[in-house]
């Protein structure tokens, strides 16, 4: 069977981490007998340079026509002074919105091999961390009414019942398959939109009696993540809060270079990307950690192509490489074997 994957290399370290992930996907193809057809699509800063817009129509159409989208990273200082609607980040936001990818899943797992890489103390981490941030991705303040006047600027947070309900159902279903605990994070003591959020999540809970639901205010949630991270299983939150809390969750699990993400909608087509950015400071140096992108490719195999066995094989290969003591520079401690981006991809492929 041939699978069609739209591949957005993007900017900064994007091309390098994508190439490492494709090396692994190619190996999956040979080993399991699948053909992956890649269509390289331009979006982000490189598209601005070439076509004058961050998300050309042809790029969007190619993504819509694919089985899944794999994305490296977009953005960089070169494009930082452009007006908001022209920035590389608009490509990401446009893809999320146009593909209807309202559910962003960001699993944060601390592999035992990387326990030393976490900034938290051993007694806080215990024998590991395994949580999942479910971030609403196509609503809230990211897509609300915004504007500027002479001496003011504003952004608005709006949530509709249906938007909260569908992301809540998604999070409850995922919690049911994990440890059965969902923490919904909002700011219902201040924000009206959060009051709606909390009411709708509580209503949806009636359909999931086997899942334990808690509510936390976002400031408290940030503190709890840093002090008692093991209490969390699935964290459900809005677009903006999810952006912030997922970076925090990533950091406590060792390196932001390890965490993958999946953005899903109603159908099976999804977009998969590492949660980190384009790291322009190390671009082109073969130093970036490709594991988050490789793990994103594993999520792609599982969630968009239905290839669970293959996805599991990739995840186990990543763990095996770490067990062997191989590290990229971001994870390395004294005495570790430090690999470049390309070599890390090759090692994972070899161990598959
Ligand atoms: C993320 C990123 C994006 C976001 C930016 C680059 C638009 O930070 O995916 O977390 O804020 O959603
Ligand atoms: Mg972010």
Q: Which helix (H) or strand (E) holds 215?
A: strand 212-217
Give phi and psi for 277, each to the nearest 5: -100, -155
Q: Per mean pLDDT, which range of 23-32, 78-87, 158-167, 215-224 is the poorest?
A: 78-87
Tell whether 42 and 161 lie within a shared domain.
no
pLDDT of 99 higher than 80: yes
Domain membership flag for residue 94: yes
Cα→Cα distances 136→84, 105, 164, 200, 276, Å:
22, 9, 8, 14, 18
Domain membership flag for residue 109: no
As a whole-number percent, the residues of the chain with pLDDT over 70 amount to 100
Tell whether 239 and 268 lie within a shared domain.
no
Atom 7 (ligand 1) nearest CA = 89
The pLDDT value given to residue 115: 82
Tell whether 36 and 127 lie within a shared domain.
no
Distance CA 294, CA 17 (A): 8
Determine the 3-state secondary structure of 342 from DSSP: helix
Tell whether 123 and 216 lie within a shared domain.
yes
113-171 per-position pLDDT tens digit: 888 888 898 888 888 899 999 999 999 999 999 999 999 999 999 999 999 999 999 99
Q: How far is the CA of 91 from the centre of ligand 2 (A)?
A: 14
Q: How far is the CA of 277 from the centre of ligand 2 (A)?
A: 8
Q: How far is the CA of 248 from the centre of ligand 2 (A)?
A: 10
262-271 per-position pLDDT tens digit: 999 999 999 9
Task: Decide if 51 is catalytic.
Answer: no
Tokens of 162: 């249906």
Atom 11 (ligand 1) nearest CA = 243
Domain membership flag for residue 29: yes
Domain membership flag for residue 62: yes
Domain membership flag for residue 296: yes
Atom 5 (ligand 1) nearest CA = 89
85 pLDDT tier (thresholds 50, 70, 90): confident
Residue among 3, 159, 186, 187 flagged as catalytic = 187
Q: Which atom of ligand 1 is nearest to the CA of 92?
A: 7
Distance CA 130, CA 181 (A): 12
CB 292 within 8 A of CB 254: no
Task: Decide if 207 is catalytic.
Answer: no
Distance CA 327, CA 321 (A): 8
The pLDDT value given to residue 334: 79
The pLDDT value given to residue 122: 87
**Average pLDDT score over the chain:** 96
The pLDDT value given to residue 111: 85
Tell whether 178 and 268 lie within a shared domain.
no
The pLDDT value given to residue 279: 97
232-244 per-position pLDDT tens digit: 999 999 999 999 9
Domain membership flag for residue 213: yes
Tell whether 206 and 244 lie within a shared domain.
yes
The CATH number that applies at residue 82 is: 3.40.718.10
Among candidates 236, 34, 210, 247, which has minimal Cα distance to 135?
Answer: 236
Q: How far is the CA of 242 from the centre of ligand 2 (A)?
A: 8
Atom 10 (ligand 1) nearest CA = 243
Number of domains composing the chain:
2
Task: Decide if 151 is catalytic.
Answer: no
Tokens of 22: 């494709």
Domain membership flag for residue 68: yes
Atom 12 (ligand 1) nearest CA = 243
Residue among 116, 219, 281, 324 flagged as catalytic = 219
The pLDDT value given to residue 113: 83
Count other C-beta atoms under 10 Å from residue 35's C-beta: 10
The whole-number average pLDDT for the span 49-77 is 97
Q: How many degrees, rounded to 5, is the angle at CA 245 between CA 208 and CA 315?
A: 75
Residue among 67, 186, 233, 243 flagged as catalytic = 243
* End-of-domain residue from the set 252, 275, 309: 252
Q: Is 80 exposed, middle or buried (0-12, 13-18, 19+ CB in 10 A)?
A: exposed
DSSP code per residue over 270-307: EEEEESS---GGGTTTT-S--HHHHHHHHHHHHHTT--
The pLDDT value given to residue 348: 98
Which residues have CB less than 5 Å away from ligand 2 (the ion)? 243
| Domain range enclosing 6 | 1-101+261-352
Tell whether 319 and 212 lie within a shared domain.
no
Q: Which residues line ligand 1 (CB under 6 A)?
A: 89, 92, 243, 275
């Amino acid at each position: 069977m041939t699978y069609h994957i739209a591949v957005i290399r993007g900017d900064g370290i994007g091309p390098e981490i994508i190439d490492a992930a494709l090396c692994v996907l190619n190996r999956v193809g040979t080993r399991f007998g699948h053909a992956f057809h890649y269509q390289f699509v331009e979006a982000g800063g490189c598209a601005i340079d070439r076509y004058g817009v961050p998300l050309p129509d042809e790029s969007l159409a190619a993504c819509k026509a694919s089985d899944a989208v794999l994305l490296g990273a977009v953005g960089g200082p070169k494009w930082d002074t452009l007006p908001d609607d022209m920035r590389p980040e608009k490509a990401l936001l446009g893809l999320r919105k146009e593909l209807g990818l309202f559910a962003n899943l960001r699993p944060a797992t601390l592999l035992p091999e990387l326990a030393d890489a976490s900034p938290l103390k051993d007694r806080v981490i215990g024998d590991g961390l395994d949580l999942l941030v479910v971030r609403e991705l196509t609503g809230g303040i990211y897509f609300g009414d915004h504007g500027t006047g002479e001496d003011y600027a504003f952004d608005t947070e709006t949530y509709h019942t249906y938007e909260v309900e569908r992301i809540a159902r998604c999070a409850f279903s995922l919690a049911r398959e994990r440890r059965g605990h969902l923490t919904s994070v909002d700011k219902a003591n201040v924000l009206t939109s959060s009051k709606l959020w909390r009411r709708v999540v509580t209503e949806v809970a009636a359909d999931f009696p086997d899942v334990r639901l808690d509510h936390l205010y976002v400031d408290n949630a940030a503190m709890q993540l840093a002090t008692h991270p093991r209490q969390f299983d699935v964290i459900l939150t809005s677009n903006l809060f999810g952006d912030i809390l997922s970076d925090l969750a990533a950091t406590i699990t060792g390196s932001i270079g390890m965490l993958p993400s999946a953005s899903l909608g109603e159908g099976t087509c999804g977009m998969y990307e590492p949660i980190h950015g384009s790291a322009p400071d190390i671009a082109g140096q073969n130093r970036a950690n490709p594991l988050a992108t490789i793990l994103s490719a594993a999520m792609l195999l599982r969630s968009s192509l239905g290839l669970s066995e293959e996805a599991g094989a990739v995840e186990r290969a990543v763990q095996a490489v770490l067990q062997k003591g191989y590290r990229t520079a971001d994870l390395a401690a004294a005495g570790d074997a430090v690999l470049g981006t390309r070599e890390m991809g090759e090692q994972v492929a070899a161990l598959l």
